[in-house]
A = this chain, B = another copy of it.
Amino acid sequence: MRRYFPILEWGAEYNRQVLSADLLAAVIVTIMLIPQSLAYALLAGLPPVVGLYASILPLVAYAIFGTSRTLAVGPVAVVSLMTASAAGAVAAQGTPEYLEAAITLAALSGVMLAVLGFLRLGFLANLLSHPVIAGFITASGVLIATSQVKHIFGISGGGDNWPEMLGNLAANLPDTNFYTLTIGVIATGFLFWVRKGFTPLLRRFGMGEQAAGMTSKAGPVIAVILTIVAVILLGLADRGVALVGAVPQGLPPFALPSTDMDLIAQLWVPALLISVIGFVESVSVAQTLAAKRRQRISPDQELIGLGASNIASAISGGYPVTGGFARSVVNFDAGAQTPAAGAYTAGGIALASLFLTPLLFNLPIATLAATIIVAVLSLVDLKTPGRLWRYSKADFAAHMATILITLLAGVEMGVIAGVSVGLLLYLWKASRPHAAIVGRVPETEHFRNVERHKVLTLPHLLSIRIDESLTYLNARWLEEYVLERVAEKPELRHVILMCSAVNAIDATGLESLEAINHRLGDGGIGLHLSEVKGPVMDRLKDTHFLDELNGRVFLSQDQAWSELARDNGEPSPPNDQYLARGLI
């Protein structure tokens, strides 16, 4: 039970002190989350209130099923962008079908995450390497920021990729509303300044470092309040400034998600991508925060927690959610001790939905757009490409492919391309593993690569050290490598495969060994193994390979060398020239 309901663990030790810590964190996160929820719903192309709905029940579900003590779930930028892309492919923004698609995405993603968790398939997230994730996040940041520029200028726009977006913006630029632009530019400038200059200012006025840092997170709320006041005082509603308008007051509407199979058939691929991206982002944040307090999270149970959150989002009219970086850090810094803080935050957002929404009528869309732009531009990372180029060309290739394809073909193709390029490069390398011809380091029992060390070799004896497990990916390579090395040495009588680094041999690898044994046998050459690991040897003993082996298995490479060095093909008694020369 405790595995699937982590709440039973921390709930048992819950006390008054933890309660007050959690409540304080919840208040701070609630203040931060209200404008963020509205903004990300806007980014997802949904009515702002959907962002609030997605910030209530999902937080409660995560508090029950999640393993991180401090992760704050809810709408996040990248997943909102992916939702807009997927829902936009099946319906037009603003239609009921579009909202239905977004809710269905949350339901599908929730079920997929939960199933992956029960099957303990969290390892699939490993397919996203850091360079691919970093490329995807950078490109998404650029796409998201670009998608919001239209709101700053008060024009229409759109597009699924960067060139399309820029083209639409350029075409509509003459329609710019200058009142909107003024609000947008001031809000953006203010928010940038809050990020950099507000904390030092508060500190100068004598506020403590942590309190100042915390207060500066309220920047978006201040921008929201100030621009609402400006709209009312200056009568900007009549000047064509786009406003949030009427937001339905009340708690989320509960309903079962759609079971339209056509819709599900269209949405399952994007839902899977949303699930994987959301999971990877969330687990990275949760692991980082858990490590700071020496706590542990369970990735497989995190899948179940995020799955429950998304199912909760779907049945309460929300859209896909995951653990967000910025809000989790705020939650952590504000002193949250348990996931209960998330449940209290949910209460705060519920209160806001009940009572504050009428106040949002005059909120300019441009303010929300400014919030998004300032938040996501910090995601754009321009240093990684250079660092990767210097460290690993393969990683650089995967990173740049992800960035370019995300910008040019959209978020879904970007993730797929990044995973594919990474996997292809990995498989390419795995099919060409490292091996070395080794020789004896004089007067020792050690054997080293002949290309890097001064070592002894014998013309009738070839020692090959294989530095990798033998699998189907490298089996063909192994045959070619050994047979080519053999073809180069006409005097050869014995081949020793030094298996000290071979942790496993799969069925294809075994067949390759059999083929090598057979072909060497045809040429009168013995095949020997040395330093075979215990578990590998146990499995080989169950097969016919050792019976058919055209040579012997030696415990150590030294022993193999010493015995085979004497058998140089001349008539017995063994010619001791090598012995005499001190070579063995």
Q: Which residues of A contact B (CB under 8 A)?
A: 123-131, 287, 291-292, 294, 296, 299, 387-388, 390-392, 394-395, 422, 426-434, 452, 467-468, 471-477, 479, 483-484, 487, 501, 503-504, 506-508, 510-511, 515, 519, 522-523, 534, 539, 542-543
Contacts and interface: CB of A to CB of B under 8 A. Distances in A.
Chain A to chain B: the 8 pairs with minimum beta-carbon distance, closest first = A129-B472, A395-B507, A130-B508, A123-B431, A434-B503, A129-B508, A291-B519, A126-B431
A130 B475 contact: yes
Nearest to A511: B130
B426 A542 contact: no
Contacts of A468: 503
B506 A476 contact: no
A539 B389 CA distance: 12
A472 B503 contact: no
14 contacts: A123-B432, A124-B427, A126-B431, A126-B473, A126-B477, A128-B472, A129-B507, A129-B508, A391-B539, A392-B506, A392-B539, A395-B506, A422-B472, A433-B503
Contacts of A503: 433-434, 467-468
Contacts of A504: 429, 434
Given A126-B473, A434-B503, A534-B452, A131 B508 contact: yes
Q: Is the interface of A mostly helix, strand, loop or mixed?
A: helix
Contacts of A474: 126
A103 B127 CA distance: 38
A473 B426 contact: yes
Contacts of A395: 506-508
A503 B515 CA distance: 27
Contacts of A431: 123, 126
A469 to B, nearest CB: 8
B543 A391 contact: yes
Given A426-B471, A501-B467, A534-B452, A391 B542 contact: yes
A358 to B, nearest CB: 47
Contacts of A507: 129-131, 388, 391-392, 395
Contacts of A292: 522
A125 to B, nearest CB: 8
Contacts of A432: 123
A294 B520 CA distance: 10
Nearest to A131: B507
Contacts of A294: 487, 523
A109 to B, nearest CB: 21
Q: Which residue, A299, A394, A472, has most C-beta atoms of chain B within 10 A?
A: A472
Given A452-B534, A501-B501, A534-B452, A127 B391 contact: no
A103 B583 CA distance: 64
Q: Which of A287, A390, A507 has the most CB of B within 10 A?
A: A507
A129 to B, nearest CB: 3
Given A129-B475, A395-B508, 18 more contacts: A125-B476, A126-B472, A126-B473, A128-B472, A129-B472, A129-B506, A129-B508, A130-B472, A130-B511, A292-B522, A294-B487, A294-B523, A395-B506, A395-B507, A426-B471, A426-B472, A433-B503, A467-B501
A427 B299 CA distance: 17
Contacts of A124: 427
A483 B126 contact: no
A438 B456 CA distance: 30
Given A452-B534, A501-B501, A127 B291 contact: no
B394 A506 contact: yes
Nearest to A483: B291
Contacts of A433: 503
Nearest to A539: B391
Contacts of A127: 427, 473
A390 B540 CA distance: 11
Nearest to A472: B129
A483 to B, nearest CB: 7
A430 B515 CA distance: 25
A483 B291 CA distance: 9
A471 B429 CA distance: 11
A427 B125 CA distance: 11
A397 to B, nearest CB: 11
A474 B426 CA distance: 12
A511 B133 CA distance: 13
Contacts of A510: 391
Contacts of A506: 129, 392, 394-395
Contacts of A426: 471-473
Nearest to A388: B507
Nearest to A516: B291
A131 B510 CA distance: 11
A128 B523 CA distance: 29
Contacts of A394: 506
Nearest to A287: B479
A390 B544 CA distance: 12
A340 to B, nearest CB: 25
A350 B247 CA distance: 80
